[in-house]
Structure 1
Amino acid sequence: MATTQDVTARSTGCPVDHHGYQPFDQHDPFPAYAELRREAPVMFDERIGYWVVTRYDDIKAVFADWETFSSENAQKPVRERGPQARKIMEDGGFTAYSGLSARVPPEHTRIREIVQREFTPRRYKTLEPFIRANVDVLLDKLLARPDRRADLFRDLAYDVPTITILTLLGADVGQIDTYKRWSDSRAAMTWGDLSDEEQVPHAHNLVEYWQECLALVARAHEEGGDDLISDLVRDQQDGAEITDHEIASIAYSLLFAGHETTTTLIANSLRVLLAHGDQWQALVEDPKRIKAAIEEVLRYSPSIVGWRRRALKDAEIGGVAIPAGADVLLLMGSANRDEAHFADGETFDIDRPNAREHLAFGYGIHYCLGNMLAKLQARIVLEQVVARAPQLTLEDPDAIGYRENLSFRIPLAVPVTWEA
């Protein structure tokens, strides 16, 4: 039924029933996702020019079939850049490309193999005490507030992964707000719905961001260091097939994905668990359950709710014909609640036996390279908070706003109070 309706609408211009789905509204998209799964699991949305896919099995199959559904559009701006923004970026020498997420084999395979060698358990083990000490410092400041009020997004989740990724890449940890500003601009320019005029300041930010990535690579050549960028430069000098531009592109990706989505994961973990007081208390009483709780947060409230692919040839998704060249939006935030795979999927349950089967980190050859680091940081934060501040109370969870965005579900604040 949905397929006939969509094809008819594309050919006649008749209005389409989007079943409540609003592409950029992330306040509470889940009822619309459920409606789409029931009524139009593969729907063409003429507002954004994408086929929208919502069921678990369909999305997993698309991720697995990289030869048919290419990742080449994963970093493409949803709204084309206007003439002013294009000129600013061209004049500023902006030539950044995806680190890995938008690359395809064999290029993707070559670069990922080199980078993956540097994401080792040894590196994570080295970082763990550093992350834990950083969390303690931030908690000390937070819990010392005389008014006993805080925003866990800005006062805790914001800094932890940013300091971690800047340290990992050998960047300046004193420039957290600068990197966050650049990251906000990247998100807005790639996944936002901006007018030509609104794009202008973000274009300037992206030029600065890319020039800093190039500078990090140049500095690694000149000075070396104990960081990921220096390691990749040494790999290159030892014969690894990776260029300076590709290393800078890895930095460009990690200086965004390496903290932005982890900030959201930490914020969502605290927000969702505190909103489910019985399950928060279960972690207070038994912190060993934190790892399982993080997997359930990733399922129930992922940082990334939608990711993109492009059909390289005529294909089918869920029995619906997809023409060659079509853009596809995979709503993992919907797949993760699909009751055909997750029983009672709209319910948050830290004891869910198959929570780890979520698609929050994608699936297949592009499965998120930094997933272990993201979960490590979320685990450390939760361990420290349940030990030191078990009495936190979330203020009015229904009033929390979310940034407008096609792919990322980012809370604007996680306000809490606590007793003396």
Structure 2
Amino acid sequence: MRPLSTDASSQAQGPITPASERFNPFDPDYVRDPYPTLKELRESEPVFFSPEIGSWVVTRFETVKTILRDTQRFSALIASDPLTPLCPHARNIITDSGFDVPPMLVNNDPPSHTKYRAFFGAPLTRERLQSLKPFTESTVDTYIDRMLAGSQPADLVAGLTWDVPALVLFQLLGVPAEDVARVKEWASSRVVMTWGRPTEAEQVELSTGAVAYYRYALDLVRKKAEAPQDDYIGDLLRAHNAGGEVTIHEIGATAFNLLFAGHETTSSATANMFKAVLADRKLWKAICAGEQPLAPVIEEALRIDPPVQAWRRQAKEDVVLDGVTIPAGSRILMEFAAANHDPQQFPEPDAFTPGRRNVLQQVAFGAGTHFCLGAPLARLEMEVMLRRVAARMPELALVPDQSFPYTPNTSFRALRRLLVTW
């Protein structure tokens, strides 16, 4: 996140077309269900300029995949810049705090991205991630116990999917479990600050929280540097001590990013998955009976309702996408949600079809050099939650006629409540 690099989108200009006027990612109807609008836009104007967000919007699968894989023409530096320019008071809070999170992973380009990805990805071995499975299983069972002992209807988000990914991440990083509520609150605030439309008063509050979040991450790494433990941060510190070309400060800055990215999207992906499978009673019964393999269900859930709905790039030069010329320097919003529903790639895209032959081509985790490092852990957590809930709560069902509230923003499909009975 580069919190002070926020003006370009508000100053951007482009042609106004029917799609420009139709697209508003903050409209309540769109937030609730973006897929009909995205389908219409993909078919009528697959590339268009949105004055609402100062960006060109891209919706076709092949075009999105092309951008993700082409680091020569498209830069990732703006990926996590705040969408809404910060007001002077919020800017001062950030500036005066000494906030310094340099581009390293999601918002960086080769060749330095290559160095950082190699360093921060090396400890995420299959063995390290698989070692988290027993902890994940016991944590999920603890939360299921609490749900079963509680009243009905219950909120599956609050009762399971909200906390578990954070607790697993904390186990990986070596963060005290008692800090989960604080970090989750900071993470949710960051979604609004970076990808939403906060008011000036909200920006001040969110900036204050971002600074506290940043200092927490730096302090965590500094304390661990005194005696590195057997966890991911400890692995990074040992690599640093052995001559790795990454500083303690950069490790702290990455911890700041991981304390958000490492759990928020998995929480959303799992909630979205349960919303989809519980709506299909035949599928749910097959899962509970052990007749439906879980991996295809997880992949199809990621495709049909991805937790990351859209992501950003910047054109390094004039480019032509689907017949539309986009000027150098323009900001681009790649609609993963639209790409994952492109019928040219996924026949009958609105149908939940586990076992789709090409489902692994979905872009929920991105593609190319920036493919999500945490994807294997996210899949592991989703599998454990789905398997344990199916085994222990086979009568689980959605409360009829409920509303599904999501956090308004351009990029994350974050379901805030999912009411269930059993």
TM-score between both structures, scaled by the size of structure 2: 0.94
In the aligned structure 2, how far is the partner of 1:389 from the partner of 1:97? 45
Query: Which position in structure 2 is the counterpart of 1:75?
Result: 80
Contact 1:75-1:98 within 8 A present in 2 as well: no
Q: Deviations over 1:384-410 (max 9, x none)?
A: 000000101101366111110110011
1:196 aligns with 2:191: no
In structure 1, give the amino acid aligned to 2:341. Answer: R
Q: Deviations over 1:362-396 (max 9, x none)?
A: 00000000000000000000000000001011013
* Aligned pairs, number: 408
1:22 aligns with 2:24: yes
Contact 1:337-1:346 within 8 A present in 2 as well: yes
Q: Deviations over 1:24-64 (max 9, x none)?
A: 34210000100011101001011111000000000000101
Partner SS state of residue 135, structure 1: helix
1:100 aligns with 2:105: yes
Give the alignment of 1:245-264 within 5 angstroms. 245-264=249-268
User: Pick from 356, 359, 363: which aligns with 1:359?
Assistant: 363
Choose 280-289 or 70-79, whichever is displaced more: 280-289
In structure 1, give the amino acid aligned to 2:42. Answer: R
In the aligned structure 1, how far is the partner of 2:41 from the partner of 2:187? 31
1:271 aligns with 2:264: no
1:118 aligns with 2:123: yes
Contact 1:185-1:203 within 8 A present in 2 as well: no
1:15: how far off? Answer: 6.6
Q: Deviations over 1:131-158 (max 9, x none)?
A: 000000110010111x332111111001
Query: Which position in structure 2 is the counterpart of 1:5?
Result: none
Query: Which position in structure 1 is the counterpart of 2:54?
Result: 49
Partner SS state of residue 385, structure 2: helix
Give the alignment of 1:218-237 within 5 angstroms. 218-237=222-241
Q: Aligned-pair RMSD on alpha carbons?
A: 1.6
In the aligned structure 1, how far is the partner of 2:103 from the partner of 2:231? 20
Contact 2:19-2:48 within 8 A present in 1 as well: no
User: Pick from 61, 64, 72: which aligns with 2:66?
Assistant: 61
Contact 1:275-1:397 within 8 A present in 2 as well: no
Give the alignment of 1:91-170 within 5 angstroms. 91-145=96-150, 147-170=151-174
Choose 51-60 or 243-252, whichever is displaced more: 243-252
Which structure 1 segments of 5+ residues have no match? 1-9
Contact 1:99-1:252 within 8 A present in 2 as well: no
Contact 1:23-1:406 within 8 A present in 2 as well: yes
In the aligned structure 2, how far is the partner of 1:280 from the partner of 1:182? 34
1:231: how far off? Answer: 1.1
In structure 1, give the amino acid aligned to 2:242. Answer: D
Change (3 A) 1:121 1:208: same
1:265: how far off? Answer: 1.1
Partner SS state of residue 349, structure 2: coil
Contact 2:153-2:399 within 8 A present in 1 as well: no
In the aligned structure 1, how far is the partner of 2:379 from the partner of 2:103? 23
TM-score between both structures, scaled by the size of structure 1: 0.94
Give the alignment of 1:252-331 within 5 angstroms. 252-286=256-290, 289-331=293-335
Partner SS state of residue 190, structure 2: helix
Partner SS state of residue 82, structure 2: coil
In structure 1, give the amino acid aligned to 2:199. Answer: S
Q: Give the fraction of aligned pairs with identical amino acids, expressed as a percent.
A: 38
Which structure 2 segments of 5+ residues have no match? 1-12
1:383 aligns with 2:387: yes
Query: Which position in structure 1 is the counterpart of 2:344?
Result: 340
In structure 1, give the amino acid aligned to 2:208. Answer: H
In the aligned structure 1, how far is the partner of 2:163 from the partner of 2:337? 25
In the aligned structure 2, how far is the partner of 1:405 from the partner of 1:94? 24
In the aligned structure 2, how far is the partner of 1:211 from the partner of 1:167? 20
In the aligned structure 2, how far is the partner of 1:97 from the partner of 1:254? 14
In structure 2, give the amino acid aligned to 1:220. Answer: K
In structure 2, give the amino acid aligned to 1:400. Answer: F
In the aligned structure 2, how far is the partner of 1:88 from the partner of 1:289? 50
1:335: how far off? Answer: 0.3
Contact 1:52-1:331 within 8 A present in 2 as well: yes
Partner SS state of residue 308, structure 1: strand
In the aligned structure 2, how far is the partner of 1:318 from the partner of 1:17? 15
In the aligned structure 1, how far is the partner of 2:324 from the partner of 2:17? 19
1:40 aligns with 2:45: yes
Contact 1:269-1:294 within 8 A present in 2 as well: yes
In structure 1, give the amino acid aligned to 2:391. Answer: A
Change (3 A) 1:14 1:389: closer
Give the alignment of 1:4-23 within 5 angstroms. 16-18=18-20, 20-23=22-25
